[in-house]
Chain A
Amino acid sequence: QSVLTQPPSVSGAPGQRVTISCTGSSSNIGAGYDVHWYQQLPGSAPKLLIYNNIKRPSGVPDRFSGSKSGTSASLAITGLQTEDEADYYCQSYDSSLSAVAFGGGTKLTVL
């Protein structure tokens, strides 16, 4: 049971916008620790998608954006494409665990 809660699945049609939530608590996101997002395509290693809540690494399309407020964070994907079909994970640090924490992951299906 992760301290960061994500919906197990989300879906959307090509071209649409979807959001994936990451809900934490006062010992992680709410304590001010940064949230990062990863995309894991089937059979591949995770790839950093968003870091420090809102920043995109070089090469990541601006269709992907992150936000953070209070004890939650969100990943938004606009202009959905079939190649966006993947698992998405949020990550932060938890001071109660004194450890890095990942969300349980969200499977994005592009209909």
Chain B
Amino acid sequence: EVQLVVSGGGVIRPGGSLRLSCAASGFTFDDYHMTWVRQAPGKGLEWVSGITWNGGDTTYAESVRGRFTISRDNAKNSLFLQMNSLRTEDTAFYYCARQGSIASRQFDYWGQGTQVTVSS
């Protein structure tokens, strides 16, 4: 059974840093690209960042580029999101998801998510 378990959320002051982790199991992790998606309170889904199967290519939404860094450790079946210079508008529920197909970019499995609250 595919499982994605997200951890690392919390309450942080503006300007602070936080690192999210996503532990994967039930599939061959390094066969898949991975992504982070967030959802602000009462709002829709927003794609945040993606990483290729070997970590060789990373992409970011304009809203987080230069502040967030996605990475992965295939030996530990883990995905990460390092979030620096956090802003109040980064407050959201953060999901990790598996990209089911390289070509068409659908996200076929999602973690349960973790809440990140940026507040003074």
Contact = CB atoms under 8 A, between A and B. Distances in A.
A38 B106 CA distance: 10
Name the residue among B35, B104, B106, B113 with the largest chain A CB count within 10 angstroms.
B106
B46 interface: yes
Interface stretch (A17-25, A42-50, A71-79): A42-50
Contacts of A98: 59
Interface string A42-67: 00011110011000010000000000
A101 B37 CA distance: 11
Secondary structure at chain A's binding surface: helix, strand, loop or mixed? strand
A111 interface: no
Interface in B55-85: 59, 61-62
A100 B35 contact: yes
A107 to B, nearest CB: 10
Contacts, number: 68
Interface residues of A, number: 26
A36 B45 contact: no
A34 B106 contact: yes
A34 B100 CA distance: 13
B67 to A, nearest CB: 16
Interface residues of B, number: 24
A62 B106 CA distance: 19
A102 B106 contact: no
Given A46-B37, A93-B105, A98-B59, 17 more contacts: A34-B103, A40-B45, A45-B110, A46-B110, A52-B104, A52-B106, A89-B44, A91-B45, A91-B105, A99-B59, A99-B61, A99-B62, A100-B47, A102-B47, A103-B44, A104-B44, A105-B45
Interface of A: 2, 33-34, 36, 38, 40, 45-48, 51-52, 57, 87, 89, 91, 93, 97-105
26 contacts: A2-B44, A34-B104, A34-B105, A34-B106, A38-B45, A38-B107, A45-B95, A45-B111, A45-B112, A45-B113, A46-B45, A48-B107, A48-B109, A51-B101, A51-B104, A51-B106, A51-B108, A52-B106, A87-B44, A89-B45, A91-B45, A91-B47, A100-B50, A102-B47, A104-B44, A105-B44
